[in-house]
Amino acid sequence: MEYLCQGELRKKITNKTKVSIAAIRHLAVELLCGLQFLHSKGVVHRDLKPENILIDKKGHVKIADFGLAATNVIGNNKVTLECGTSGYIAPEVYDDGLYNRMADYFSLGVILFEVAFKYHPFYDGKNDKRMKRCITQDEPRYPEEADPDLLDLLAKVSSDTVPVGQEK
């Protein structure tokens, strides 16, 4: 296994240095390619979060920790076990517990939001029990000064989150 010297993506979030839109796009493309590969093999990660994304010396990312991954999720197959890390679990997992690979894209949108704005789009840091309600009922808390290009990028990634049964 190669050494990923830049460690977890969480470092880029806790480091308050602003990340450029170009760097966020690069991160989005690499993660989308990784998810696309996994999904083409019938794998749904189910625990995508900054701690499970590692960065090498060239800035390339690797998705890690497949302990909760579901396999053989091909075509219209669905997954029913509610699992993952609070704050990154897609609304459809909470709502009816029936989901597919699209749940990973919700997690990706949350991660990119955190990298861009340095805070979680739903979580206020005070009450973990509110997280489920916030994710299923609230809109993300965008900063007023958010760059329109960045908001567009986040919307495009999030638009991949289609309710189960309505995939294209």
Sequence spans of domains, the chain: 7-155
d(CA 85, CA 128): 11
Q: Which of 47, 56, 128, 160 is catalytic?
A: 47
Quick check: helix, strand or coil at residue 107? helix
What superfamily would CATH give domain 7-155? Transferase(Phosphotransferase) domain 1 (1.10.510.10)
Task: Render each residue's pLDDT in the chain as its tens digit; 168 residues.
Answer: 788 888 899 998 998 888 999 999 999 999 999 999 999 999 999 999 999 999 999 999 999 999 999 999 988 889 988 899 988 988 888 887 889 999 999 999 999 999 999 998 887 666 666 677 777 777 788 888 889 888 888 888 876 544 333 443
- The DSSP annotation for 16-35 comes to -SPPPHHHHHHHHHHHHHHH
79 beta partners: 99
* Residue 25 neighbours by CB distance under 10 Å: 14
Residue 49 burial by CB count (10 A; 0-12/13-18/19+): exposed, middle or buried?
A: buried
- Contacts of residue 124, defined as CB under 8 A and 6 or more positions apart, other chains included, come to 130
**Quick one: pLDDT at residue 125?**
63
For residues 151 and 139, is the Cβ–Cβ distance under 8 A? no
Whether residue 47 lies in the annotated active site: yes
* Residue 67 neighbours by CB distance under 10 Å: 10
- Can you say whether the dihedral through the CA atoms of 122, 128, 130, 133 is positive or negative? positive
Quick check: helix, strand or coil at residue 8? strand
